[in-house]
Structure 1
Amino acid sequence: MPQQGQPQDVLAPPATAAIFLVVTVRPGGEDTVRGLLPDIAGLTRAVGFRSPEDGLSCVTGIGAHLWDRLYGPPRPAGLHPFRTLAGAVHTAVSTPGDLLFHLRARRPDLCFELARQLMTRLAGHADVADEVHGFRYFDERDLLGFVDGTESPSGPDGVVAVTIGDDDPAFAGGSYVVVQKYLHDMRGWNALPVEAQELAMGRRKLSDIELPDAAKPPNSHVALNTIVDPDGTQHQIVRDNMPFGSIGADEFGTYFIGYVGRVDVIERMLENMFIGDPPGNHDRILDFSTAVTGGLFFVPTADFLDDPSPRLALASATAAAEPDPQPPPGGGPAADGSLGIGSLRRNGTP
């Protein structure tokens, strides 16, 4: 059985620059992708060698549709197309994406050069569906003025939060990643008094201290993103969000990126935000931030990128040994063909 292997740089330290590159692969481009994946680590080293102290890293994620084209079934247990969540007021959209490249460094030119090299290798076989250049904004704040990522775990807790466990042995040691591009209504947000902004966020703006439970509204961002099981177990994700913007285009936003070992944790957060907990109690932040993209990707271990065959063989053997899955109550597979992870009340599926 393959060991967990060396993870990609999911837990790299916060960077001052990032590029988020979501790519779609054209029909017939599968062999080009297969040829690129083992070379990404080498490309990253080659570009980063020019300034090793600036910590260039690249995390590569693979979407569900491309996985099927590259490797066929079975997929990693939590990998499925990002699920559209249509609430009464706001919608988490699902948008195309076969590959995700998350590039980070202390200098933007390193990220830019690596992105250029990656797309040169994919030229004629893939297209950029979304490209966002993120930057550090003062003391890790977003453009809404609040510190972002305060509750992201680090150290051993971070490893636990982002790592797929032995319940999916062929893909143990990997992660899942969800990305969403949010555009902010800065005029509307800035028209709110600071006290109202703090109630929407669930934190003090200056000090970054979480509001007491008695003062924290149930539709605040912090309240709805706290996932606790009935037994009191709290589940966490690792965020590495970045602000981005264009003055001339009057576009200001936050690129959300969340790494996790269990997809249902992020799905529960998004359900709380967009559907509401209870339904109708949506995240107040969404009245000022609109999600314009949404994608879910599997982040394999480095050894998988080098040679996927041992893990694919184990996955096939494990799937062959398992009993046929039972249909959900009422008969038939889930409408989106997924494993039904999470407790989503969906108004639509991708």
Structure 2
Amino acid sequence: MTHPQAGIFEASSSQFRVLEYKLTADQVVDSLIKKLAIIKKTVTDVELVIGFGPALWQQIDPIKPALQFSQFNTITSPKGHQATASQTDLFIWLHSQNHDAIIEALLFVQQQLEGTATLALACDGFKYRDNRDLTGFVDGSANPQQLAGQHQAALLANDHSHHNGSFIMGQQWVHKLAKFHQLSTHQQEQTFGRTKADSIELEGDAMPADSHVSRTDLKVNDIAQKMYRRSMPYANANQQGLYFLAFCCDLTRYQTLLNSMYGLSDDGLCDRLIDFSDAITGSFWFAPSEELLQTVLSTD
């Protein structure tokens, strides 16, 4: 019996830190594993989720044949919008309600990985109002509400060799808030495909085909392309946006979503939302089950 990494589903946190690393060299993998084992043992006051990029995971996967999955590749729409690739080797997600504990964990992780992995991205996220994005719209309203549904969307099935693991997609989006807020509330709702105040989906002819809901609420062969979103807004004086974070049982669902958003599906329509936000990073990782992670990190 295996269990998913618990931090994937813990939803009470209000403070989030995403850390993405690239290895300094292939030869440091053994050192990285030892340091991650120390981090896993020591960081217990906050939720900790660890994911591995495709090249790194193939080196350390103890199950043979190793799980094969692709790196994130840049996607460009016919209109020139771009979802930029920045594939990293290691994903660490810290979250909690306790800001001080988050900072302490963050500093410890960075201290441990210094010299073995180079920090490629650090994003400080937070819960904004009632789970809203900085555009003012509720984020993740299409998520399964029950734990069973979240597990079904996020985790590899029990008959899979890597069961209860999850494929992760992370993207840092930079919002053009001034441009977006120039729109009327009606135009904003047409962009998202939901009402702003109470997050009710538009229906029938009121729902534009290029709205965000229309481009991301997808089915393939009658199978809903569900994923479990854990995105978080971030902001400073110079830049505001959303770190899109999702966990999924099937890596191809991410590609289906991106193709639909960027005008690469059959109808050629682009998601209206990408006129108001740019994806400046993009990576895929694999988060093994808790038991498989412990096996990977075993240094005995």
TM over 0.5: yes
Q: How does 1:162-173 map to 2 (within 5 A)?
A: 162-166=154-158, 168-169=160-161, 171-173=162-164
Q: What residue is the counterpart of 2:8 in the other structure? A: 10
Q: What residue is the counterpart of 2:87 in the other structure? A: 96
Query: For the Cα contact (< 8 Å) 1:37–1:306, is it kept in 2?
Result: no
Q: How does 1:200-215 map to 2 (within 5 A)?
A: 200-215=191-206
Q: Which amino acid aligns with 1:241?
A: S
Query: For the Cα contact (< 8 Å) 2:71–2:87, is it kept in 1?
Result: no
Q: Which amino acid aligns with 2:165?
A: G
The yes-or-no answer on 1:192 pairing with 2:190 is no
Rounded to whole Å, the distance in 2 between the matches of 1:84 and 1:161 is 25
Shift in Å, 1:116: 1.3
Distance 1:117 1:85, change over 3 A: same
Rounded to whole Å, the distance in 1 between the matches of 2:250 and 2:190 is 29
Query: For the Cα contact (< 8 Å) 1:96–1:129, is it kept in 2?
Result: no
Shift in Å, 1:29: 1.9
The alignment-based identity, stated in percent, is: 26
Question: Which consecutive residues of structure 2, in runs of 5 or more, have no partner in the other structure?
Answer: none
The yes-or-no answer on 1:266 pairing with 2:264 is no
- Among 130, 136, 142, the residue aligned to 2:121: 130
Q: What residue is the counterpart of 2:266 in the other structure? A: 278
Q: Which amino acid aligns with 1:64?
A: P
- Among 236, 245, 262, the residue aligned to 2:235: 245
Q: Which amino acid aligns with 2:7?
A: D
For 1:163-210, what per-residue CA distance to the aligned partner results, in whole angstroms no more than 9, with x for missing partners? 1124531x1110010000000111110111110000000000011111
Query: For the Cα contact (< 8 Å) 2:96–2:102, is it kept in 1?
Result: yes
Rounded to whole Å, the distance in 2 between the matches of 1:207 and 1:275 is 28
For 1:299-326, what per-residue CA distance to the aligned partner results, in whole angstroms no more than 9, with x for missing partners? 011112211399xxxxxxxxxxxxxxxx
Q: What residue is the counterpart of 1:29 in the other structure? A: 28
Provide runs of 4+ in structure 1 moved above 6 Å.
none
The yes-or-no answer on 1:158 pairing with 2:150 is yes
Greater Rg by CA: 1
Rounded to whole Å, the distance in 2 between the matches of 1:285 and 1:44 is 37
Q: Which amino acid aligns with 1:11?
A: F
Shift in Å, 1:75: 3.6
Secondary structure of 2:156's aligned partner: coil
Query: For the Cα contact (< 8 Å) 1:64–1:75, is it kept in 2?
Result: no
- Among 288, 293, 298, the residue aligned to 2:281: 293
Q: What residue is the counterpart of 2:72 in the other structure? A: 82
Query: For the Cα contact (< 8 Å) 1:8–1:301, is it kept in 2?
Result: no
Secondary structure of 1:124's aligned partner: coil
Q: Which amino acid aligns with 2:206?
A: A
Query: For the Cα contact (< 8 Å) 2:33–2:297, is it kept in 1?
Result: no
Rounded to whole Å, the distance in 1 between the matches of 2:209 and 2:117 is 43
Shift in Å, 1:114: 1.1
Question: Which consecutive residues of structure 1, in runs of 5 or more, have no partner in the other structure?
Answer: 49-55, 311-350
Q: What residue is the counterpart of 2:39 in the other structure? A: 40
Query: For the Cα contact (< 8 Å) 2:51–2:288, is it kept in 1?
Result: yes
Secondary structure of 1:9's aligned partner: helix
Secondary structure of 2:101's aligned partner: helix
For 1:33-71, what per-residue CA distance to the aligned partner results, in whole angstroms no more than 9, with x for missing partners? 1113333332221xx1xxxxxxx2011000012223445
- Among 42, 46, 63, the residue aligned to 2:53: 63
Q: How does 1:314-333 map to 2 (within 5 A)?
A: none
Distance 1:135 1:216, change over 3 A: same
RMSD (Å), alpha carbons? 1.9
Q: How many residues align?
A: 294
Distance 1:14 1:196, change over 3 A: farther
Rounded to whole Å, the distance in 2 between the matches of 1:202 and 1:43 is 44
Rounded to whole Å, the distance in 1 between the matches of 2:139 and 2:186 is 18
Query: For the Cα contact (< 8 Å) 2:72–2:87, is it kept in 1?
Result: no
Rounded to whole Å, the distance in 1 between the matches of 2:290 and 2:261 is 33
Query: For the Cα contact (< 8 Å) 1:146–1:205, is it kept in 2?
Result: yes
Query: For the Cα contact (< 8 Å) 1:93–1:292, is it kept in 2?
Result: yes
Rounded to whole Å, the distance in 1 between the matches of 2:246 and 2:297 is 28
Secondary structure of 2:261's aligned partner: helix
For 1:113-167, what per-residue CA distance to the aligned partner results, in whole angstroms no more than 9, with x for missing partners? 1121112111111111000000111111111110001111131111111111245
Distance 1:184 1:159, change over 3 A: same
